[in-house]
């Protein structure tokens, strides 16, 4: 019997990565490029610290002009793959997480996320590309948390939009899935740890250590763990998978 193994090779594919200037986004961009893809990456900062093989263009997705320019950039790029990763994190109880925080988190994590997904989907339909859209959710999107109300709700919206988009785009053979990372050791965790220190009265570094030890596998994940899952979803290995949210969390969320 001859095994018809689908490749993970991404040669010839155009991949767009948002939130690419560090952590999960940077790792995904590097993995895509290493597997032969032409990678276009964006983030808010003017300088890109990732792979020299990646073409970088900054956009402020919370600014209407910046978001419109990013949409035009996506259309011009004609992607096969979107890694829709840009997001903000903040913390506060329901009593003090105000509407200004809501506007910032939902402005990027939901509004801009949706506009970017929509632009990539429209480009794929227009070019008859049977592409893959990969949205970044979070374990926070599967449950509420007392100190992370707005962020949890924004990531729950990502999961819901992923399912709706997958069903809408299935007739075009465009797959839409999400990745739900758990606690991943990225530069953002310095900010997260500081916020927990403020709200829970913990010592610096204490929360990060505690959440890593609480993972069933016993440690925090690495950005590459998420990037490798993104490669799977971008490649033909996952050609019959759509409307799913894959948990990359060491066993934190049981589904």
Report the run of H or E that residue 180 belongs to, with start and end: strand 175-181
Q: How many CA atoms lie within 13 A of 231 on its CB side?
A: 23
Q: Is 102 among the residues known to form the active site?
A: no
Query: b vs e for 79-95, b when ≥16 Cβ sit within 10 Å of the residue's Cβ?
Result: bbbbbbbbbbbbbbeee
Distance between CA 129 and CA 247 in Å, rounded?
Answer: 27
The one catalytic residue among 102, 151, 219, 240: 151
- Number of Cβ within 10 Å of residue 75's Cβ equals 15
For the purposes of burial, counting CB atoms within 10 Å of the CB of 174, is it exposed (0-12), middle (13-18) or buried (19 or more)?
A: buried
Catalytic residue numbers, as ranges: 151
């Amino acid at each position: 019997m001859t095994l018809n193994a689908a490749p993970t090779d991404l040669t010839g594919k155009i991949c767009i990565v948002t939130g690419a200037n560090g952590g999960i986004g940077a790792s995904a961009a590097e993995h895509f490029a290493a597997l032969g893809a032409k990678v276009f990456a964006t983030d808010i900062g003017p300088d890109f610290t990732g792979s020299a093989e990646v073409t970088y263009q900054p956009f402020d997705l919370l600014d209407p002009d910046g978001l419109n320019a990013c949409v035009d950039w996506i259309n011009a790029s004609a992607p096969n793959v979107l890694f829709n990763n840009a997001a903000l994190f903040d913390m506060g109880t329901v009593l003090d997480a105000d509407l200004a925080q809501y506007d910032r988190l939902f402005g990027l994590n939901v509004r801009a996320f949706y506009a970017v997904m929509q632009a990539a989907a429209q480009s794929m339909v227009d070019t008859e590309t049977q592409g893959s859209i990969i949205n970044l959710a979070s374990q926070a999107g599967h449950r509420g948390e007392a100190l992370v109300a707005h962020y949890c709700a924004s990531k729950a919206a990502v999961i819901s939009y992923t399912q709706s988009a997958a069903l809408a785009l299935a007739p075009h053979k465009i797959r839409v899935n999400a990745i739900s990372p758990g606690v991943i050791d990225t530069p953002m965790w310095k900010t997260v740890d500081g916020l927990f220190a403020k709200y829970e009265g913990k010592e610096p570094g204490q929360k990060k250590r505690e959440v890593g030890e609480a993972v069933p596998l016993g440690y925090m994940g690495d950005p590459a763990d998420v990037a490798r899952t993104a490669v799977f979803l971008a490649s033909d290995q996952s050609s019959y998978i759509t409307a799913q949210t894959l948990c990359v969390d060491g066993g934190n969320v049981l589904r």
